[in-house]
Amino acid sequence: MTAMRQGRMRRTTLVSAMCALVVAGTGLTGCGSEDPDAGTNGVGKLSAEKIQATTRTAAESAKAVRLSGTVVAGGSTYKLDMRLKADGGTGSVSAEGATFELLRVGEKLFLMADAEFWSHGGGEGEGGESDAAAADKLDGKFVKVPEGDPSYKRFSGFTDKDVLLGSLLTLHGALATDGRHEESGVRTVRITGDKGSGGTLDVSLEGRPYPLRLVRAGGAGTLTFSDWGKDFPLEPPAKDKTVDYGQQLPTS
């Protein structure tokens, strides 16, 4: 009997060790009766609808976030790398071969781009030369975007935390959970719309349930979210680096 008991103990120890090895090697849980939600924020136990509502609340209440990736809209693909908070944002946007920097502090919006951006569509001859000369002067400068200019609303949307998150953190169709995953070393629970065709969203299972990765419906881009709650400096550019055209930007 003693030998049999010792054999059972050895087998039990071996199974436990193998289970621990599998968990450590794959990041998965589930050996024996181990709770997959142990050590998490508990969001994984919720329904997909409640997970979406919870992560939206967390995102809205965060003081700051960094958003990077691609967004397809209106037939154009935008590559974003923006840091956002309640009173403004800063970062870069690339689209159709052009890259520009945006900076918004309160209601003041500034745009920096190279000479080619400003001279796009310039005429020929004397007018064209004048346009090119003006564009050269704007190269590397922050140009203040007047609030009445048609481009103000379009550009400022890239710097507005509430507007961007409100429009992006949306899945289409019937919601469902799609297992446990990992994003940048952080455990996540994934929710989907229409089994993935309506988009997927990975939500952190560690700390606050922030959204960490979004794949938009219809191939409309993929975005990652990081630096939740991490403040960053946001100040108007120096006067010698700023150009103010008054009520309207130069026509591009």
**Residue 241 included in any domain:** no
Q: What are phi and psi of 219, to 5 degrees?
A: 65, 30
**What does the pLDDT read at residue 135?**
73
The label of the residue with tokens 């010698």 reads 240
Boundary residue ending a domain (143, 165, 187): 165
pLDDT in tens, 195-237: 999 999 999 999 999 999 999 999 999 999 999 999 999 999 9
Residue 83 and residue 150 share a domain: yes
Model confidence at 8, pLDDT cuts 50, 70, 90, reads very low
Residue that finishes a domain, picked among 165, 189, 211 = 165
221: containing domain: 43-60+170-226
Which of the two residues, 243 and 127, has the higher pLDDT score? 243
Residues 84 and 106 in one domain: yes
- Does any domain span residue 214? yes
Q: Is the pTM of this model over 0.85?
A: no
Q: Given this model, what pLDDT does residue 249 score? A: 62
CB 128 within 8 A of CB 31: no
pLDDT in tens, 95-129: 888 899 999 999 999 999 887 777 755 444 344 44
Residue 244 to residue 145: CA distance in whole angstroms: 8
Domains: count for the chain: 2
Q: Is residue 24 part of a domain?
A: no
Domain boundary, last residue among 165, 187, 207: 165
Give residue 238's pLDDT.
92
User: 97 and 71, same structural domain?
Assistant: yes
157 inside domain: yes
Q: In this structure, is residue 10 part of a structural domain? A: no
Q: Are 208 and 89 in contact (CB under 8 A)?
A: no
Whether 99 and 92 have beta carbons less than 8 Å apart is answered as yes
Tokens 């700390």 belong to which residue? 207
Selected residue with higher pLDDT from 58 and 125: 58
130 and 191 belong to one structural domain: no
Q: Encoding tokens for residue 76? A: 């154009």
Same domain, 118 and 174: no
Sign of CA dihedral 144, 150, 156, 158: negative
d(CA 130, CA 67): 38
Region at 40 (left for phi over 0; alpha for psi -120 to 50; beta for the rest): beta
pLDDT value of residue 247: 59
**Is residue 5, in this structure, part of any structural domain at all?**
no
Q: Residue 143: inside a domain, yes or no?
A: yes
> What confidence tier does 49 reach under pLDDT thresholds 50, 70, 90?
very high
Q: Is residue 241 scored above 80 in pLDDT?
A: yes
Is 70 exceeded by the pLDDT of residue 27?
A: no
Mean pLDDT of the chain: 83
Q: Provide the CA 57 distance to its chain's centre, in angstroms.
A: 16
Asked if residue 76 belongs to a domain, the reply is yes
Q: How confident is the model at residue 148 (pLDDT cuts 50, 70, 90)?
A: confident
